[in-house]
Amino acid sequence: MCGIVGYVGPKATVDVLIGGLRRLEYRGYDSAGIAVISAGHLEMRKKSGKLVNLEAEIAAHPLPESHIGIGHTRWATHGAPTDGNAHPHLGGPAHKLALIHNGIIENFAELKAELLAEGTRFASETDTEVAAHLIAREYEQTHDLFAAFSSVMNRLHGAFTILVVHQDQPDVVLAARRNAPLVIGLGTGENFLGSDVAAFVEHTKRAVSVGQDEIVVLRADSVELFGFDGTPVAYTEFEVDWDASAASKGGWPSFMAKEIADQPQAIADTLMGRVRPDGHVVLDDIKQISTQQINDIERIIIVACGTASYAGDVAKYAIEKWARIPVQVELSHEFRYRSPIVTPNTLVIAISQSGETMDTLMAVRYAQELGAKVFAICNTQGATLARESDAVIYTHAGPEVAVASTKALTAQITAGYMLALVLAEARGALDEAHLTALGQELLHLPKKVSEVLENISQASDLGTAHANAKSVLFLGRNVGFPVAMEGALKLKEIAYIHAEGFAAGELKHGPIALIEEGQPVIVMVPSPDDVDSLHPKVISNIQEIRARGAKVIAIAEEGDGTVGNYAEAVIYVPKTDAIMAAVLCVIPLQAFALALSTAKGLDVDQPRNLAKSVTVE
Ligand code: AGP
């Protein structure tokens, strides 16, 4: 949601800003704009729609050469996605100040009333514009931009990353962060700001994550950080561990297609250095947690949203089966606003690709207030979630650009398996042979995922063939259940069709009424060797829906000799551990959704109404 870029330095600022905004496009937006200062004058261009509209506007009305500026992609909250509501917003009657904002200013109505009473004229319907006018007004009184900026930041409630430039101070960008992401890129004789490192990674890999309630004073040759009270704050830099090419399509027709194909590497990178050849998992990431503390854990609560919550569901099956610790999985926004029972012996695990999902951040803060320790499973270095958690297990999926999560999910599930095995070993819940066999099976996952991808055309062809489907249902038991829900979510978000995932055992309790002649149903079929006898139960479920007209596509294990008798099509995946099968079974569902969406001519990478990183509650 909303992308933010700031730059001070010798390069052509318009190019740096547009390049940064392009790399942030994946976050989701519906208008874009930039402001630069040149020869003591502020100039702004903004346009609704995609970045190409802004580029056309700049081509029609070129901007002068400049060495300082700010850029923004807006995902509309307050006010429709029009040219006028696009950012930047100008402050003061003389329009000397430009401001961009990501987040929501919750007390904007009372601030606006105050400004209206003084006769301020507003040019937009946004919550953001109040901040621009307030800072401009204070600056006119004191001519101290930092003082005006920090004073206004202290008056705002809600979530905001705000960047400001003022034509009277043409060498500085001021920025503030509360409950919304902001990262600094450190260059030589130039410095950058971005919603995430993608904004500037083609220029520098040295980055600083801005903390909660901090103000940045960014100049070409210096970066200073302060608290909202004006106290200087020390910072530490980190090295971005992926390069700009990792966030490009690299010849694939879409980011989603590339990211599906990236999965063997993403899983291998997530496992790297963490699973010994003998099958023992060593997670240095949580080494500060003692065996005693692990033994003291009475309950685990996993908080996450969307696809990440399905990774949490799979982790629940793994942790309960292997480590024998009770686990509940909660959508972050539900957990935060009820009265969950959290004790000091509750471990909270937050899963988030971006590490900036506001619902999950709020859940984590709440859990910490209640005294819980929080582990994060996160894909983004320097993200707020990583900073605020007691320990972080990074997934190493690389940048995920498509809104629909694919490789981040399988990397998250992989991290969940590793954590489950570490907990199992610490608690002595599995015998050595079983423990190490599972660890070794983890090491085989990247190759087995590659094998699934080698045969992915079958799932893609089925997706294309279902381009006119009005509804697709998904069924599964055990880990097949969250996989079914993920398959349905993928279809909803990128193909805009009705899709639902059900626990196959729940069918007869209601959903079977949905089945009518020709209804496509994709069923996750467990291994025929499965010790819990789930295979015959799922075959029975298939027979029940086929008897009522369903057309069944089965995802089944290679060598399953019976399933072919009960399905119109079977996609076979390699044999693995029953819980680890989740990683293999979900991949054909990703390809099915991608092909179906493509056949409908939709934008698979940037589906309507969605943002990659949901930074407001
Ligand atoms: C996945 O395809 C979705 N775009 C969405 O459900 C996503 O997984 C969710 O918003 C959580 O994001 P996060 O992992 O960055 O917290």
The tens digit of pLDDT for each residue in 284-314 reads: 988 888 889 999 999 999 999 999 999 999 9
Query: What single DSSP character describes residue 275?
Result: B
Residue 343 burial (C-beta neighbours within 10 Å; 0-12, 13-18, 19+): exposed
- If asked whether residues 405 and 418 sit together in one domain, one would say yes
Which of 181, 180, 177, 186 is CA-nearest to residue 223? Answer: 186
What is the pLDDT of the chain when averaged over all its residues?
A: 94
Q: Whose CA is nearest to atom 5 of ligand 1?
A: 306
In percent, the amount of the chain with pLDDT more than 70 equals: 99
- If asked whether residues 547 and 430 sit together in one domain, one would say no
> What pLDDT score was predicted for residue 244?
65
Q: Whose CA is nearest to atom 2 of ligand 1?
A: 404
d(CA 408, CA 496): 22
Residue 306 burial (C-beta neighbours within 10 Å; 0-12, 13-18, 19+): buried
* Catalytic-labelled residue, pool 205, 321, 551, 612: 612
Specify whether the CB–CB gap between 481 and 309 falls below 8 A: no
Length of the chain: 617
Ligand 1 site, residue 305, Cβ cutoff 6 A: yes
> What pLDDT score was predicted for residue 245?
67
> What pLDDT score was predicted for residue 148?
97
CATH of the domain at 555: 3.40.50.10490
- If asked whether residues 464 and 593 sit together in one domain, one would say yes
> What pLDDT score was predicted for residue 75?
86
CATH of the domain at 46: 3.60.20.10
Cβ contacts of residue 60 below 8 Å, gap of 6+?
none
Ligand 1 site, residue 403, Cβ cutoff 6 A: yes
Which ranges in 187-296 belong to alpha helices (H)?
255-261, 263-271, 291-296
Helix (H) or strand (E) holding 5: strand 3-8
Q: Which atom of ligand 1 is nearest to the CA of 357?
A: 16
User: 485: CA distance to ligand 1 center in Å?
Assistant: 13
Q: Is 162 helix (H, G, I), strand (E, B) or coil?
A: strand
Looking at the structure of the chain, the number of domains it has is 3
Query: At which of 422, 451, 480 does a domain end?
Result: 451
> What pLDDT score was predicted for residue 76?
84
User: 404: CA distance to ligand 1 center in Å?
Assistant: 7
- If asked whether residues 443 and 530 sit together in one domain, one would say no
Q: pLDDT tens across 42-55, in order?
A: 999 999 999 999 99
Query: At which of 409, 431, 451 does a domain end?
Result: 451
More confident residue, 14 or 532: 14
Query: What single DSSP character describes residue 561?
Result: S
User: 164: CA distance to ligand 1 center in Å?
Assistant: 30
> What pLDDT score was predicted for residue 186?
98
Q: Whose CA is nearest to atom 9 of ligand 1?
A: 306
Which ranges in 427-565 belong to alpha helices (H)?
432-454, 457-465, 480-495, 534-546
Q: Whose CA is nearest to atom 8 of ligand 1?
A: 307
- If asked whether residues 587 and 476 sit together in one domain, one would say yes
Q: Whose CA is nearest to atom 10 of ligand 1?
A: 306
Ligand 1 site, residue 354, Cβ cutoff 6 A: yes
Q: How confident is the model at residue 37 (pLDDT cuts 50, 70, 90)?
A: very high
Q: Whose CA is nearest to atom 6 of ligand 1?
A: 306
Strand 214-219 vs strand 222-227: parallel, antiparallel, or unpaired? Answer: antiparallel
d(CA 428, CA 295): 9
Ligand 1 site, residue 353, Cβ cutoff 6 A: yes
Q: Which atom of ligand 1 is nearest to the CA of 613?
A: 15
Query: ω before 88 within 30° of 0 (cis)?
Result: yes
Q: How confident is the model at residue 114 (pLDDT cuts 50, 70, 90)?
A: very high
User: 381: CA distance to ligand 1 center in Å?
Assistant: 17
Its domain, for residue 422, covers 251-451
- If asked whether residues 240 and 273 sit together in one domain, one would say no
- If asked whether residues 98 and 145 sit together in one domain, one would say yes
Nearest 5°: the CA angle 206, 1, 96 is 75
d(CA 30, CA 53): 11
Q: Is 2 among the residues known to form the active site? A: yes
DSSP letters, 304-368, are E-HHHHHHHHHHHHHIIIII---EEEEEHHHHHTS-----TTEEEEEEESSS--HHHHHHHHHHH
Comparing 247-251, 426-430, 565-569, which segment has the lowest mean pLDDT?
247-251
Q: Whose CA is nearest to atom 4 of ligand 1?
A: 404
- If asked whether residues 290 and 375 sit together in one domain, one would say yes
Q: Which atom of ligand 1 is nearest to the CA of 406?
A: 2
Ligand 1 site, residue 406, Cβ cutoff 6 A: no
- If asked whether residues 472 and 445 sit together in one domain, one would say no
Q: Which atom of ligand 1 is nearest to the CA of 404?
A: 2
Q: How confident is the model at residue 505 (pLDDT cuts 50, 70, 90)?
A: very high
Residue from 27, 307, 309, 333 to probe ligand 1 pocket by mutation (most atoms less than 8 Å from CB): 307
Q: Is 409 helix (H, G, I), strand (E, B) or coil?
A: helix
Specify whether the CB–CB gap between 472 and 499 falls below 8 A: yes
- If asked whether residues 277 and 416 sit together in one domain, one would say yes
* Catalytic-labelled residue, pool 2, 305, 378, 585: 2
State the pTM of this model: 0.83
- If asked whether residues 204 and 278 sit together in one domain, one would say no
Please say whether the dihedral angle defined by the alpha carbons of residues 338, 341, 344 and 350, taken in this order, is positive or negative.
negative
Query: At which of 246, 263, 287 does a domain end?
Result: 246
User: 310: CA distance to ligand 1 center in Å?
Assistant: 10
Q: pLDDT tens across 183-209, in order?
A: 999 999 999 999 988 899 999 999 999
Asked if the model's pLDDT at residue 80 lies above 90, the reply is: no
**Average of pLDDT values for 523-540?**
90
Strand 299-304 vs strand 346-352: parallel, antiparallel, or unpaired? Answer: parallel
User: 612: CA distance to ligand 1 center in Å?
Assistant: 7
Ligand 1 site, residue 127, Cβ cutoff 6 A: no
Q: Which atom of ligand 1 is nearest to the CA of 412?
A: 14
d(CA 88, CA 101): 8
- If asked whether residues 231 and 264 sit together in one domain, one would say no
